[in-house]
Chain A
Amino acid sequence: MSEVTAGSVVGAVPRGLFRRAGTRLWDFLPAVAVLVAGVGLWQVLVTVLHVQRFLLPKPTEIVSALTGNWHVLWSAGLFTFREALGGFAIGSGMGVLVAVALSRFPRVGRALLPYAVAANAVPIIAFAPIMNNWFGLLNPLSKMALSAMICFFPVMINTLRGLTSVAPESVELMRSYAAGETAVLWKVRLPNSLPYLFAGLRVATVLSMIGAVVGDYFGGSTQSLGVFIVNKSSLFVFDQAWAAIVVASVLGVGFYLAVGLVERFALRWHVSTRGTERP
């Protein structure tokens, strides 16, 4: 007994740790290989085919535009990311709340579904002028509102699916304990919906950045990435525009991965994150 406690206190390096670290690196190798090959191919093709600079710049040119304008790009990136984060929070929050409300009244939910689909079918840029009109062109809230609108639907619909795809037996069990709807919600539906919620959140991370960038299409602060891209594109300075796109993309991916990490922690118990051991 004492050996066991001593071992856990000292925290011996678990056998096979290095093996696991090695496997992780091996997993990333194909993606890295594709990146290197893809970028290399791009560089070669553009040079060999003498593609005009304003059509598609070489990767090297984009990199130099990136390093040359780093400060502007990075602060613009952060500025836009803040808008995206705000939109993500608002949109996801509302999505979860509405999903919870609809799960209580499924008939209302079914009746609202066509309207939700319709609202989702309208491109965000149609609402951009209206948001600018409501909150002011330079107010970050106008872009956050757009970002929130774009995040709302995937989170709402995924959470709703999670809240309602509970096995009937689980609910019946709760009824046998004379538990009310609220208890069923907290103890059964919400935990059941977590995997779905996170699937929706991951989609929303990517969309939130896009919403924030696209929101600037009809005008916005010059400190933002969207305005930067539009300006440089209209001046045909595409290497800088691409550099800004790379920044937007990297921030979006980073956001996605961050939420993925939170998901892995929160869903430790779930089938998809458990390892499988053959009996």
Chain B
Amino acid sequence: MRAERALTTLAVLAGLIGLWEGYKAFAEALHLSWPFRVNDVTMPHVWDMVGQLFEPSRLNGPLLLHVLFDAALYTARSAFVGFLIGAVAGFALGVALAHSRLLERGLLPYVVASQTVPILAIAPMIVIWLKAGWLSVAVIASYLTFFPVTINTLRGLKSADPRAVDLMRSYAAGRWDVLWKLRVPSAMPYLFTALKVSATASVVGAIIAEPPASIQDGLGGAIVNFNQYYLSSPASLWATIFIAALLGIGFFGLVSGAERILVSRAPERVA
């Protein structure tokens, strides 16, 4: 079963690489210029991208892989702290909104509207306010994290079986007991779905926030850097993208693992 899963994953990977190289060969042979011109700059070979990792990132410097690995660790710290802040704040806000119709009607529109503000635009301002280096990056990352958690916590808390709520009333249970013994456990599947989205969002937020904060040690700085040199070394930017993706997957995997341990539910009957 495991072996079959691993084999299919590798097969899909091979398929994707094949698609990339296939399209590249096809478009170059036909000199296609729509939708875009295809050459070694716009579409580097996959093996060039991987190979670039084992080249020095600059003259006599450390290997690109090493540089990117360090950058990933740096970003991971801000992303993780941002994830925690966002998850806790989002959960608390969800609980508050679930308990007060008034609060929900008053605040929910702004919670949603908050996500329409492009983070890139307000990041410089937050950095100036907080003056705190990587911590301000974490705060910006938490801005992207709290929203899915709030929305899903709210939905999850409200999704408790009404008969189960009646049962709690028959025990004359107080609101605190109903919350922690019924609503929160009912909400766990929804909460973890949101946490999985937030895991990747926190990485994205951290990376986006680094350039405005003039932080160069993380993946965000690496992206800006390799953007400048894209024409001379396109593979470096692609390699950075891969590493960023791996970081996101790593976070996602951690949360998935936690879900498998913490959430026990009837297996879903779906076709």
Interface residues in chain A, defined as those with a beta carbon under 8 Å from any beta carbon in chain B? 27-31, 33-35, 38, 55-56, 107-108, 110-112, 114-115, 117-127, 129-130, 133-135, 141, 164-168, 170-171, 206, 209-210, 213-214, 217-218, 226, 229-230, 233, 238, 241, 244-245, 248-249, 252-253, 256
Instruction: Tell which of B35, B115, B121, B220 has the most Cβ of chain A within 10 Å.
Output: B121
Among candidates B110, B119, B240, B271, residue contacting A168 with C-beta atoms closer than 8 Å:
B271
Report whether over half of chain A's contact residues are helix, strand or loop; otherwise say mixed: helix
Question: B249 an interface residue at 8 Å Cβ cutoff?
Answer: yes
Question: B207 an interface residue at 8 Å Cβ cutoff?
Answer: yes
Q: Are the CB atoms of B249 and A121 closer together than 8 Å? A: yes
CB distance from A46 to the nearest CB of B (A): 12
Which residue of the partner chain B has the closest CB to A213?
B118
Roughly how many angstroms separate A130 CA and B119 CA in the complex, as a whole number? 21
What is the 8 Å Cβ interface bit string for chain B, positions 214-253, against chain A (1 contact, 0 not)?
Answer: 0000001001000100100010011011001111110110
CB distance from A136 to the nearest CB of B (A): 8
Question: B11 an interface residue at 8 Å Cβ cutoff?
Answer: yes
Given contacts A134-B42, A170-B271, A126 and B106 within 8 Å (CB-CB): no
Which residue of the partner chain B has the closest CB to A128?
B227
Roughly how many angstroms separate A29 CA and B244 CA in the complex, as a whole number? 44
Interface residues in chain B, defined as those with a beta carbon under 8 Å from any beta carbon in chain A? 5, 8-9, 11-13, 16, 35-37, 41-42, 102-103, 105-110, 112-113, 115-122, 124-125, 128-129, 200, 203-204, 207-208, 220, 223, 227, 230, 234, 237-238, 240-241, 244-249, 251-252, 268-271
CB distance from A93 to the nearest CB of B (A): 15
Q: A133-B234, A210-B119 are in contact. List 19 more A-B contacts (CB 8 A).
A: A31-B106, A31-B109, A115-B16, A117-B248, A117-B252, A118-B246, A122-B204, A122-B241, A122-B244, A123-B220, A123-B223, A126-B207, A133-B230, A164-B271, A168-B269, A210-B115, A238-B125, A249-B116, A252-B113
Given contacts A108-B12, A126-B240, A135-B35, A121 and B200 within 8 Å (CB-CB): yes
**In the assembled complex, which residues on chain A have CB atoms less than 8 Å from the CB atom of B237?**
126, 129-130
Given contacts A108-B12, A213-B121, A126 and B112 within 8 Å (CB-CB): no
Given contacts A121-B247, A133-B42, A217-B120, A56 and B11 within 8 Å (CB-CB): no
